[in-house]
Amino acid sequence: AQSVSQHNHHVILSEAASLELGCNYSYGGTVNLFWYVQYPGQHLQLLLKYFSGDPLVKGIKGFEAEFIKSKFSFNLRKPSVQWSDTAEYFCAVNPNSGAGSYQLTFGKGTKLSVIP
């Protein structure tokens, strides 16, 4: 079965610092990749997604992620974080095995705390 690893459990940054959250997955086939964010007290929201094409994808709120197939990685980045980025971030993988492939496997999440 596939698994998703997020390397950092809790990241603490000052405002304007750059962010990179690691995500690695184990699955030999083609995958669809997602980053979700969960702000305090709110539900999961999609930040960005990768299906195919340009491996550098841009999402909402200035986030981007790069798919590196050879490294089985999909790291999330933001050049300058804001206090409002304080949230929990989840990487998720969907095996792209054709029609009817719906399920997501989530990483354990990374809590980001941004200090004003």
Partner 1 sequence: GAVVSQHPSWVICKSGTSVKIECRSLDFQATTMFWYRQFPKQSLMLMATSNEGSKATYEQGVEKDKFLINHASLTLSTLTVTSAHPEDSSFYICSAGSGVRSGRGEQFFGPGTRLTVL
* Interface residues toward partner 1, by CB under 8 A: 32, 34, 36, 42-46, 49, 51, 90, 92-94, 96, 99-109
Cβ closest to partner 1, residue 49 vs residue 77: 49
Cβ closest to partner 1, residue 54 vs residue 116: 54
The SS3 assignment for 61 reads helix
Q: How far is the CB of 25 from partner 1 (least distance, A)?
A: 12
According to DSSP, the β-strands at 87-95 and 105-106 are antiparallel
Q: How far is the CB of 33 from partner 1 (least distance, A)?
A: 9
Sign of CA dihedral 108, 56, 73, 51: positive
Report the candidate in 35, 29, 49 with the shortest Cα–Cα distance to residue 97.
Answer: 29
Q: How far is the CB of 98 from partner 1 (least distance, A)?
A: 9
**Two structure tokens written together for 93:** 């993988």
